[in-house]
Amino acid sequence: MSDSEEEGSGSRKMTRRDWEDPCWDHHFGMEDPSARGPYTSRGRTDAVWKTLQAYGFKKSEDKKKAFDGLTPTPCFEYFVRENAKKVGKILEDGQIEGNTVSELAKRIRSSHQIKYLEEPVQKAIEEEDDMELVTHALSTGDIRRDGPNDDRESGYYTDLFYSFCREGVEQSTCTWHCRVCKGCNHWRDWHCKGCKTCKYGVSIPCDKCNAKEYASWQREVN
């Protein structure tokens, strides 16, 4: 850490930190990385599994992992778990009312995020099978198509996924879902395990749990 001692009154000294230096923990051990992770199998009831499978996710027979192939985003799984608790929200085939595969595929293709992609990728997404497109959009693998033998020329790759929190297509490099706060956040946000809330600023300490360090940051930036 790039620190220096700043003289105070009497014998008191305050640590002056280089807040622009990215090579140290600006959150002082308070960030909870598990808040960004996928859900565990705990809470995956039969109803939840039926809906996840209705959107193309495959249950693994290997007890060491939950899924074969793609894993659902925390955003999608939270949406599924919440709707599985509601009467009448899950259709007979396991899909969610108002958010069927065909409805989501239409929403994804009409997104302004898709319009920003190169024309060949837009065309490939337009021609993609609805289920294939939606499963990828709801997965941690993003919207993509792998070419045979990992041939990148015959596939396409994006950093896009569908967020139910924001009701649209988002970039996985700019947006993440907090399992604790149950919402999608900007990439600069982080979850504090002390006060159990999401905070803004990749280089800003928590104003509640690290009040002294937060005050130091304020002095430096102001």
pLDDT on residue 152: 57
Instruction: Please state the rounded mean pLDDT for residues 32-59.
Output: 95
Give the pLDDT band (50/70/90) at residue 18.
Answer: confident
pLDDT value at 77 more than 90: yes
Q: Model's pTM, two decimal places?
A: 0.86
**Which among 211, 187, 183 is positioned nearest to 197, based on CA atoms?**
183
Band the pLDDT of 1: cuts 50, 70, 90.
very low
In angstroms, rounded to a whole number, what is the distance separating the alpha carbons of residues 93 and 167? Answer: 22
**Mean pLDDT value of segment 87-96:** 96
pLDDT over 70 (residue 10): no
pLDDT computed for residue 203 by the predictor: 86
Checking if the pLDDT of 150 tops 60, the result is no
The residue type found at 175 is T
Please provide the average confidence, as pLDDT, over all residues in the chain. Answer: 89
The Cα–Cα gap between 182 and 185 comes to 10
Position 75 scores a pLDDT of 98
- pLDDT mean over 30-55: 94
